[in-house]
Structure 1
Amino acid sequence: MPHPVVITATPTLFHQSLDLNETGIREHLTWLKESGVDAIFSAGTTGEFPTLSDAEKLTVLDLSLEIFGPERTYFHVGAPSAKQAGELAAESVRRGARKLAAVTPYYQSAPEAETLSYYEHVAKEAEGAELFAYLFEARTSTQSNPTVLASLAKADLAGVKISGESDETVAQYLKHRPADFSVFSGNDVSFEWFSSAGGDGIISGVSSVYPEPFVALRDALIAGNSEAVREAQRNVERAVSAVNAGSLTHLKAGVSARGFAGGPVRSAVAPTGDADRSSITALAAEFAAA
């Protein structure tokens, strides 16, 4: 069985003007690479993709490929329509992307047949790259049952990312996975359980601030060191709690606490309070000193 991997879902960093902070993004990505994460998932939910123009997304892609390369960059191209997602996928492949992800159609709830048609179109436009479905019913309103994985595999998709579901539901997806079909989880705190259940790895926004416990847990799982697994899992849980389970403003505060230009968010979400900022900074200092 392949080793579990840590794929970091990266926030998109902005200047106070809300323009892209390309220098900040490059510096943060370089640090993540040096921290030992396996790959990145850019321009996704953590990356505030609904607030980005396609031109901005492609700039994020170029920076991601510059630092992590095509085999370690999962780039998100999902959109409400197959036309939009397909156009972005085709241009991404032209620029060198080889691993793409697309969230299900969103805003309008898509039936399964239409969802599959969407993925078939995007996969065709993404020829030359692997395509992964991104299932997140809580954010998209599009429902996907575990049995859909077989149809996604037949549509030439390479795997799936599942977010916003309970461990019990994710276990059903794992039960229905086709052969040679990757299943990733977006539930940071469940990394230990998910890996032991046969999942391929975590796609973690929290690791953009605290890569250390996720890398430690991955290494402990690979080594079969149960004591180190327990300690690392406890630290993963502390990290998830510190950033309020991946709140955008908490993650940006965390990026700042690690010494980078976290900057503001574009999304209309609640700010981070002073007490939470203090906790985020204290945990960052603890992990940095360990």
Structure 2
Amino acid sequence: MKHSDLHGVTVATVLPFRPDLTIDWDGYRQIIDYCACPDGIMAVFVNGHAGEGGSLSDEERHEVIVRTRAQIGAKPLLAGIIGHSTAECIRQAQLAEAAGAGCAVLFPPASLGGGASATSRAPVAFVRAVSEAIGIPVSVFQYPLASGFGYAPETLAQIAVVPGVIAIKEGSDTMLAYDENRRAVHNSNPDIAFLPSNYNWFLPQLAAGGDGILSGLASLAPRLLAELWQASAAVDLRAMRAVNERLYPIVRAIYGPAPMIDAHTRIKVGLKALGIIEHAGPRPPLLPVLPEPCDAISATIGAARRAGDIGVADRRTP
């Protein structure tokens, strides 16, 4: 996989579960058919936050990758690596490569939240160690700065020149940090794919400059995000604003209410409202969305469906 393979929309897939908390593979097939296969979706990212990758066993992560690869064909396939140590992340990345993933997306280990992410030494060593242990490229998952896990611009610039790194998933959650990081990364390595991922900031991020979009929201609204990217690639601000107006109510329904940790479960509520999956519940410690927000999401999704912005028209004929 090359950095240029990620110039476009990468969908971070959600993963449905049955009431007994086993994976609903039929529902997952429907999700992939809906959001990963339409034109305008360039790549697929599995086993990340949206896919509740931290709650999955090695065997489940493996099967997610295998099933996704079989369904999406030659599209680039990225896999989240969520571990507590460098050794665990290397093991997960090697398993992902063996299962058919084309890129390992490295989440910062928990120990880098204790201040180690404030300087470049530990993060760069972590990324280098994983990259050297596998034969596929890697991408870095940039956390919101408020989380304590977000990397500084200087750190990202050093990571960008580590052999094997092809992309940065940028989720700093402030426009200033986004622009500072984008400039630092591209000054260090202009070939890195710099991918906006902050749901509240897609319009200004792409207006400032970006190489694609990576988002769990594409699981629910693939057409709108594809249109937004196409308008951005054409440098058409008027068209970008028009798409953003249609996207706004969906963004607020999914990401507006507290707690933010429920956002990916709310996406599943939306997919249930569309008839794509039967159950929207997550795995604990996450909890199902309460009835009142579910009703609000269903109303928003219904309006967007009637407008033709989301819905089964995005789905490929089996």
**So what's the TM-score if we normalise by structure 1?**
0.90
1:273 counterpart residue number: 290
Taking the aligned partners of 1:104 and 1:243, their CA distance within structure 2 comes to 25
Q: Deviations for 1:227-276, whole angstroms, at most 9, x for unmatched residues? A: 33212111222111111357133112112112122431014345423332
1:161 counterpart residue number: 169
Taking the aligned partners of 2:232 and 2:150, their CA distance within structure 1 comes to 32
Per-residue deviation, 1:176: 0.2
| Selected match of 2:265 from 239, 249, 252 | 249
Taking the aligned partners of 2:15 and 2:192, their CA distance within structure 1 comes to 29
Taking the aligned partners of 1:216 and 1:144, their CA distance within structure 2 comes to 30
Per-residue deviation, 1:79: 1.2
Per-residue deviation, 1:224: 4.2
Taking the aligned partners of 1:284 and 1:34, their CA distance within structure 2 comes to 20
Q: Deviations for 1:199-219, whole angstroms, at most 9, x for unmatched residues? A: 112211122112232122122
Q: Deviations for 1:118-155, whole angstroms, at most 9, x for unmatched residues? A: 1111101221x120011215686434111112321332
Q: Does 1:173 align with 2:174?
A: no
Whether the 8 Å contact between 2:18 and 2:24 is mirrored in structure 1 is: yes
Per-residue deviation, 1:169: 0.7
Per-residue deviation, 1:29: 0.4
Alignment identity in percent? 20
Alignment-mate amino acid for residue 142 of structure 1: F
Taking the aligned partners of 1:71 and 1:130, their CA distance within structure 2 comes to 15
- Within 5 A, what are the aligned runs for 1:192-271? 192-245=203-256, 247-261=263-277, 262-269=279-286, 271=288
Whether the 8 Å contact between 1:4 and 1:222 is mirrored in structure 2 is: no
CA RMSD of aligned residues (A): 2.3
Taking the aligned partners of 1:224 and 1:199, their CA distance within structure 2 comes to 11
Aligned residues: 288
Alignment-mate amino acid for residue 103 of structure 2: K
Per-residue deviation, 1:48: 1.3
Q: Deviations for 1:159-191, whole angstroms, at most 9, x for unmatched residues? A: 211224201111110110122112112202322
Q: Structure 2 regions of 5+ residues with no counterpart?
A: 257-261, 309-318
Whether the 8 Å contact between 1:249 and 1:265 is mirrored in structure 2 is: yes
- Residue aligned with 1:55, SS: helix
The worse-fitting range, judged by mean Cα deviation, of 21-30 and 134-143 is 134-143
Taking the aligned partners of 1:71 and 1:48, their CA distance within structure 2 comes to 22
Q: Does 1:144 align with 2:151?
A: yes
1:102 counterpart residue number: 106
Q: Does 1:13 align with 2:2?
A: no
Alpha-carbon spacing, 1:140–1:103, altered in 2? closer, same or farther (3 Å):
farther
Taking the aligned partners of 1:27 and 1:180, their CA distance within structure 2 comes to 34
Q: Structure 1 regions of 5+ residues with no counterpart?
A: none
Q: Which runs of 4+ in 1 moved over 4 A?
A: 137-140
Taking the aligned partners of 2:229 and 2:150, their CA distance within structure 1 comes to 30
Taking the aligned partners of 2:111 and 2:280, their CA distance within structure 1 comes to 28
Taking the aligned partners of 1:115 and 1:53, their CA distance within structure 2 comes to 25
Taking the aligned partners of 1:188 and 1:143, their CA distance within structure 2 comes to 17
